[in-house]
A and B are shown apart, each in its own frame.
Chain A
Amino acid sequence: MADNIKIKVENLYKIFGPHPKKALKLLSDGIDKETIFDKTKTTVGVQNASFEIHTGEIFVIMGLSGSGKSTIVRMINRLIKPTSGKVLIDGKDVVQMDEDELVKIRRKKMGMVFQSFALMPHMTVLQNAAFGLELDGIDVKTREARALKALEQVGLETWANSKPNELSGGMQQRVGLARGLAVDPDILLMDEAFSALDPLIRTEMQDELLKLQEKEKRTIVFISHDLDEAMRIGDRIAIMEGGRVVQIGTPEDILQNPANDYVRAFFRGVDPTNILSAGDIAVKTQVTVINHPGKGARAALQRLAGYDRDYGYVLDNNRRYLGVVSTDSLRALIDKKGDTKDITKAFLSMVTARNSSDSMQEILPDITEVPCPLPIVDDEGVYIGVISRNLFLETLHRSEINTDEHEMVQ
């Protein structure tokens, strides 16, 4: 999987202030950030961060204010020069690059979107979107055509000749996004890109980003201090505390096994039924029956009896979900003495499969209504597993314990 790694960060440190070497030494002696600041007036921005970001994923870095999030993204494109450590992009260390290489990699491989939009007030929307290409020395016609295409992607082509200050905040950030997309970068760095927008616009922008990401997979490093945002868009999340990366994992991993109280604190007040999707908790514990000609109701019944189960999940050759049968419905079919080959006649009509991306909250009514564990499928209809009532309740319970423990510590 090594070629799948786009960005690799190794033992990265950033120390702000007059005595970085001294502070590094103190850190390695195990002295903490606050003491170091008192002693040397230097601030530890990031300490010993190591992680890998995969090609095409949205990697969210989350943490409280001052935890070093902005510092870390700025070390990826070296707007901030690391004190020590490595940042490998496609295997090349950004820290060791000279000025020319740096300018080149920034022009060709990376785009950035800023919290405060950072649009050039003296340029039109189109010129702003074309800015990265302009810096790269691409001629006016080509760059404006490409910029216009990027503006189309964010739905702002009609505003091309306006100035940024004529646009609303949400629209300005679309221009910021278009500027990042116009250079067609492998990597998009987004530092709290949506934090300045009001909640409705913010969700809209998140959806837009996800849609864009579906069409063209980029590696996105997204900084956020908003848990909901991180959960919505992140393929994986890194949580930072005081300059350190304290946990990395999928949203579900982190929710279910928070590394410490700090991480847990993020999840306080978060309703797990909103975050965990059906796909996250579905398990493949049930008996499945592949429906193909020649195998009928009798064979299915036999298989269920063999496993001592009441329900069977019928799939096609491509493991797509077709329906659920029960021992009762199969017996009824056999008793009718009709065509026992057609197993679909024994399907339980009240059970419909739910999509793996549905939240726990959304599937709750189904869970309570259907007699059997609820089947879960993905977007193509492929069977993923089932969620039983017990499993559902257990998941709820586990999340509650996590939050309770935290409250006791406080």
Chain B
Amino acid sequence: MNFFSFEEKLIPLDEWVQTFVDWLVYNYRDVFQTIKAPIEVCLKSFEWLFNAMPPLVMIILLAIAAWRYAGKKTAIFTVVSFLLIGYLGLWDETMTTLAMVISSVFFCALVGIPLGIMAGRSERFELFLRPALDAMQTIPPFVYLVPVVMLFSIGTVSGILATIVFALPPIVRLTNLGIRQVHPELIEAALAFGATSGQVLRRVQFPLALPSIMAGLNQTLMMALSMVVIAALIGAGGLGNPVVQGLNTLEIGLASIGGLAIVLLAMVLDRITQGFGKK
């Protein structure tokens, strides 16, 4: 046998992965279904809230947030954008997407900020975490869509899970960076006055890393928004739907308004969250 002709497959990695995932699904599907529960609750709450709220109230609230964090111009832009979305007939889809994106970002923050803090405080943990983050950022989302669907079945929650995998790295990296950027003399000063490790984190590292963490949150949010269309492929619904449907049926108009609404939503959320870090 010639080892260098590469005519035959010698390592059946694809089969192994297949077997492994099948095994996981067969034995641990229940476990994965319980993992879904908190995400489902979070998503449903936001969805309920946004849909129960009269659109006008929603627009006013968003405008106030924009005014407070990003100034008058953005407030006006926000009002115009959301009116346009409404007139395009995409209000409900937009609210679903907003609920989805906020849920994803919420869980990214919940997991990502502690991971980032641990990485920022421990060389060893950073060393271990870095390849995982690299992988998450480079693996195309389509690759993990299938196992996600197999384990969590089709639907919005699976969409959120895929989004979390995709959008998690920036908040971890920027939290880590923020913690590391704190001047060592400040930590030394805190220790010299008798700070415990927890006090150093709470009173020095975290507050000083906050702008960086906020920048990470903003990045994570933007990435979550960019997953909207892909998530729609596994039944996540929302603004991804018109785009996917437009693609399938070659209705270019439908795809365009879906795309436009995503862009407008992204711009508004971007401006507002950028203001968070500065205030």
Binding site for B on A (CB under 8 A): 74, 77, 79, 99, 103-108, 110-112, 114, 116, 118-122, 131-132, 134-136, 179, 183, 189
Q: Known interface pairs A121-B208, A122-B207, A135-B199. Does A112 touch B193 (Cβ–Cβ under 8 Å)?
A: yes
Task: Please state if A118 and B193 are interface contacts (CB–CB under 8 Å).
Answer: no
Asked if B204 and A132 make an inter-chain contact with CB atoms under 8 angstroms apart, the answer reads no
**Of B188, B193, B195, most A-chain CB atoms within 10 Å:** B193
Identity of the chain A residue whose Cβ is nearest the Cβ of B210 in the assembled complex: A122
Question: Are B192 and A110 within 8 A (Cβ)?
Answer: yes
Contacts of A79 in B (CB 8 A): 188, 191-192
Contacts known (A134-B203, A135-B199); A118 close to B191, Cβ less than 8 A: no
Within 8 A of A (CB), among B194-210: 194-196, 199, 203-204, 207-208
- Supply 19 A–B pairs (Cβ within 8 Å), ascending by A: A77-B192, A79-B191, A103-B194, A105-B194, A106-B193, A107-B193, A112-B193, A114-B189, A116-B183, A118-B188, A119-B189, A120-B186, A120-B189, A120-B204, A122-B207, A122-B208, A131-B190, A135-B195, A135-B203
Cross-chain contact A104 with B192 (CB below 8 angstroms): no
B15 at interface (Cβ–Cβ under 8 A)? no
Q: With A122-B208, A135-B199 known to touch, is A183 a contact of B193 (CB < 8 Å)?
A: yes
Q: Smallest CB-CB separation from B197: which chain A residue?
A: A99
Asked if B189 and A112 sit within 8 Å, CB to CB, the answer is yes
| B196–A103 touching, CB < 8 Å | yes
CA A103 – CA B196 in complex, angstroms? 7
Complex CA distance for A122 and B203, rounded to whole angstroms: 9
Does B123 make an interface contact (CB < 8 A)? no
Bound Cα distance A12, B240 (Å): 67
Given A79-B191, A118-B189, A132-B193, 14 new contacts (CB under 8 A): A99-B196, A105-B194, A106-B194, A111-B193, A112-B189, A112-B192, A116-B183, A120-B186, A120-B204, A120-B208, A122-B208, A131-B203, A132-B194, A179-B193
Question: B134 on the interface (CB 8 Å rule)?
Answer: no
Asked whether A118 lies within 8 Å of B185 as measured between CB atoms, the reply is yes
Interface contact B207-A107, CB-CB below 8 Å: no
* In the complex, chain A residues whose CB is within 8 Å of the CB of B189: 112, 114, 118-120
Question: Nearest B residue to A183 by beta-carbon distance?
Answer: B193
Chain B residues, Cβ within 8 Å of A136: 194
Bound-complex Cα distance A104 to B204 (A): 19
Instruction: Give bound CA distance, A108 to B204, whole Å.
Output: 20
Closest to B192 in A: A112
| Contact pick for A104, options B185, B186, B194, B203, CB 8 Å | B194
Nearest Cβ on chain A to B239's Cβ, whole angstroms:
38
The interface centre, meaning the residue of B191, B192, B194 with most chain A CB atoms within 10 A of its CB, is B192
Residues 132 to 183 of chain B near chain A (Cβ within 8 Å): 183
Contact partner, B188, options A99, A114, A131, A132, Cβ 8 Å: A114
Inter-chain contacts of A179 with B (CB < 8 A): 193
Q: How far is the CA of A110 from the CA of B192 in the complex (A)?
A: 8
B193: chain A residues within 8 A (beta carbon): 106-107, 111-112, 131-132, 135, 179, 183
Nearest to B186 among chain A residues (CB) is A118
Q: What is the number of contacts between chain A and chain B, taking CB atoms within 8 Å?
A: 59
Kindly list chain B residues whose C-beta atoms are within 8 Å of the C-beta of A183.
193
Q: Which residue of B lies closest to A100 (CB)?
A: B196
Minimum C-beta distance from A175 to chain B (A): 12
Residues of A near B188 (CB, < 8 A) are 74, 79, 114, 118
Contact of A135 among B186, B190, B208 (CB under 8 A): B190
CA gap between A132 and B203 in the complex, in Å: 12
Across the interface, name the chain A residue whose C-beta is closest to B204. A120
- In the assembled complex, how far is the CB of residue B193 from the closest CB belonging to chain A, in whole angstroms? 4
- Min CB distance B191 to A, Å, is 6
In the bound assembly, the distance between CA atoms of A131 and B183 in angstroms comes to 17
Which of B185, B194, B195 interacts with A114 by CB under 8 Å?
B185
Chain B min CB distance to A258 (Å): 33
Shortest CB-to-CB span from A14 to chain B, Å, is: 16
Contact for A106 among B186, B191, B207, B208, CB less than 8 A: B191
Cβ distance A184 to chain B, nearest Cβ, rounded Å = 12
- Tell me the smallest distance from the CB of B195 to a CB of chain A, in Å: 5
**Chain A residue at minimal CB-CB distance from B207:** A122
| Cβ of A137 to closest chain B Cβ, rounded Å | 10
Residue of B nearest to A107 (CB): B194
* Min distance, Cβ A327 to any Cβ of chain B, angstroms: 64
Contacts of A119 in B (CB 8 A): 189
Contact with A along B225-258 (1 / 0, CB 8 A): 0000000000000000000000000000000000
Nearest CB on B from A9, distance (A): 18
**One of A106, A110, A116, A122 near B185 (C-beta < 8 A):** A116
Give complex CA distance A120, B192 in Å: 13
Bound-complex Cα distance A77 to B195 (A): 12
Q: What separation, in Å, do the CA atoms of A70 and B186 have in the docked complex?
A: 16
Contacts of A110 in B (CB 8 A): 192
CB distance from A183 to the nearest CB of B (A): 7
B214 CB to closest chain A CB (Å) equals 14
Complex formed: what's the CA distance from A135 to B194 in Å?
Answer: 7
Cβ–Cβ < 8 Å partners of A121 in chain B = 208
How many Å from the CB of B79 to the closest CB on chain A?
34
Residues of A within 8 A of B195 (CB): 103, 135
The residue of chain B having its C-beta at the shortest distance from the C-beta of A133 within the complex is B193
Lowest 4 A-B CB distances belong to which pairs?
A: A107-B194, A106-B194, A118-B189, A132-B193
Contacts of B196 in A (CB 8 A): 99, 103
Most buried by B among A99, A135, A189: A135
User: Which residues of chain A have C-beta atoms less than 8 A from B185's C-beta?
Assistant: 114, 116, 118
B265 CB, min distance to chain A CBs, angstroms: 32
Cβ of B191: which chain A residues have Cβ within 8 Å of it?
79, 106
Known contacts A114-B185, A118-B186, A120-B186; is-contact A106 B204 (Cβ 8 Å): no
Specify which chain B residues have a CB less than 8 angstroms from the CB of A105 in the assembled complex.
194
Residues in chain B near residue A118, CB distance under 8 A: 183, 185-186, 188-189
